[in-house]
Amino acid sequence: MTTGTSKHLVDPEIMGLLDILPPLDLTNETLAQTRAMLSEMNAQLLTGLPEFPDISVREQYIAGPEGAPDVRVLVYLPKNVPTPVPALLWIHGGGYVIGNADQADLQMKSIISATGCAAVAVDYRLAPETPHPGPVEDCYAALKWLYTNASSLGVDASRIAIGGDSAGGGLTACLALLTRDRGEVPLIFQLLIYPMLDDRTVTTADPHPYTGEYVWTPQANHFGWSALLGQEPGGPDVSPYAAAARATNLEGLPPALIGVGTLDLFLEEDIEYARRLIRAGVPTELHIYPGGFHAFPMVAEAKVSQAFIRDYLNALTRAFNQS
């Protein structure tokens, strides 16, 4: 794709973000440097955040999958509310190779303020150091811990939702499949924010002409999937617990919301997954935001971002209240 081919389609209110976000040149050689740069950027962003005195946050290490290290989680609990409250298990984005639980701090606190839930953010192990199934098993360990310890946390074990953005959205979809198949934890909702679902996108012969120019590119996508799978993406033997789009049966999954921008590399795989969920009888909302590239809600004051945030908060609130 030639540079600039989709610029005329970008929502003007989010255009400025492209000047701030560095292009992700992800290789084995640049990965450590990219992680350090993004971590520093995130730390700076977190310093200027508003206070949320009605929410307590604590770091905790919980038992990981069998034979694996403990998993770090951040536990967010609303103060001065009648318990038990519903809960959201949150899985951060970063292409399976970058990011940490701390980056969603403002988002977690905003969700808690709007819905009255508790939240647990998972610091799953990253690829390529930990390929599949390590990341999704870390998330399952955190979900199982949340469910098992619900009463001591003041959480209603019958009202647990899972959610995440980008690779975290992909892990959320995989975790929903794994949780359905293991039958140990009931889930009421899956919040899939521009989820990374299908490794076969990397090898498609017919790429979308206007997606993936900004933030998360085909090159970054190829690197992320290769790191997670430990092999070339698009091959025949990829588990649906690694790439949820590979699942042949989507019946019995929790209700879902999928939201994505029209310029996001994941646009078509997200639309297709929503179509298949609906066809499998899973109550599903699909929202497509014109002019949105990957991670556009970072510009929180833009109208298109406010629409997205309002849509997913409404869906979460309904899910928590219905159950």
What the chain holds in terms of domains, given with CATH numbers, is: 16-322 (3.40.50.1820)
The predicted pLDDT at position 3 comes to: 47
Q: What is the mean pLDDT of residues 289-304?
A: 96
Cα-based distances in Å from 205 to 125, 243, 274, 312: 32, 19, 22, 33
Q: Which of 6, 166, 226, 305 is catalytic?
A: 166
264 part of the active site: yes
- Catalytic residue (one of 92, 132, 222, 294): 294
Mean pLDDT of 115-123: 98
Peptide bond into 84 cis (omega under 30): yes
Q: Which of 11, 198, 199, 264 is catalytic?
A: 264
Question: What CA–CA distances, in Å, run from 302 to 55, 109, 156, 252, 299?
Answer: 26, 20, 34, 36, 6
- pLDDT tens digit string along 88-102? 999 999 999 999 999
Beta sheet of 118-123, edge-to-edge order: 55-62, 71-78, 118-123, 85-91, 155-165, 189-193, 256-261, 284-289
**pLDDT given at position 4:** 53
Catalytic residue at 305? no
**Annotated catalytic, 102?**
no
What is the average per-residue pLDDT within 123-142?
98
> pLDDT band for position 2 (50/70/90)?
very low
**CA-closest candidate to residue 267, choices 201, 200, 189, 171:** 201
Given a cut of 80, whether residue 6 has pLDDT beyond it is yes
pLDDT for 249: 98
